[in-house]
Amino acid sequence: MQHPSETVQRSLILLKPDALNRGLIGEIIHRFERVGLKIAGLKMVWSTEEIAKKHYTEDLAERRGEHIRQLMVNMLTSGPVVAMVLEGVEAVEVVRKMVGETEPKSAAPGTIRGDFAHLSFKHADSKGSGVFNLIHASGNPEEAETEIDVWFSEDEVQNFDPEYIKRTII
């Protein structure tokens, strides 16, 4: 479901339950729109454990342990999430920069996590929970394609080019 251009990409973004609980949906979406990224898909869902395990794959369990994977699944299923597909020039890298480091306390000011979160891995470990870090963003274009397919059916991702995109990036 990727865009036909080599430089225009799609990325999956999940606004996690803590972002919704804190009322940050509009602020976060505004940041993505402000840099010119296009919303190609958007919905609010309550993730099932099955979907969360498809998202947090067994690869995560191999790298960080099944216990960590289960904590992340528990976190993702603890409330509704907003799933988004963003599209733009090298969108995966742009979004990752905007989101900031995975550990909120290490995220730079000006990033989403740096501006709105401060928790640490150590704190999450002490509470026996996954890290509530507001947002997930695909790590690379291949991961984005796989993740988009987990959260969206083909007819839920729109192919349209607003006039400003036609003038600037296509």
The residues annotated as belonging to the active site are 136
Q: Is residue 71 part of a domain?
A: yes
**Length of the chain, please?**
170
The H-or-E segment that residue 74 falls in is helix 66-76
CATH number of the domain enclosing 101: 3.30.70.141
Structural domain including 103 reads: 8-165
pLDDT category of residue 169 using cuts at 50, 70 and 90: low
Rounded to the nearest 10°, the torsion over CA 149, 150, 152, 158 is -30
User: What tokens were used for 91?
Assistant: 């969108």
Q: Is residue 155 part of a domain?
A: yes
Q: Is residue 170 part of a domain?
A: no
* Average pLDDT over every residue of 14-30: 98
DSSP 5: S
Q: How many independent structural domains does the chain possess?
A: 1
The per-residue pLDDT for 43 is 98
Q: Tell me the pLDDT tens digit for each residue of 34-82.
A: 999 999 999 999 999 999 999 998 787 678 778 888 999 999 999 999 9
Q: Tell me the pLDDT tens digit for each residue of 73-124.
A: 999 999 999 999 999 999 999 999 999 999 999 999 999 999 999 999 999 8
Q: In what order do the strands lie in the sheet with 38-46?
A: 38-46, 80-89, 8-15, 135-137
Q: Is residue 144 part of a domain?
A: yes
Q: Is residue 1 part of a domain?
A: no
User: What tokens were used for 50?
Assistant: 């099955």
More confident site: 167 or 36: 36
d(CA 124, CA 73): 14
Task: Specify the pTM.
Answer: 0.89
pLDDT category of residue 142 using cuts at 50, 70 and 90: very high
Q: Is residue 145 part of a domain?
A: yes
The per-residue pLDDT for 11 is 97
* Average pLDDT over every residue of 125-150: 94
Residue 4 pLDDT exceeds 70 = no
Nearest to 41 by CA among 153, 163, 164, 161: 153
Q: Is residue 3 part of a domain?
A: no
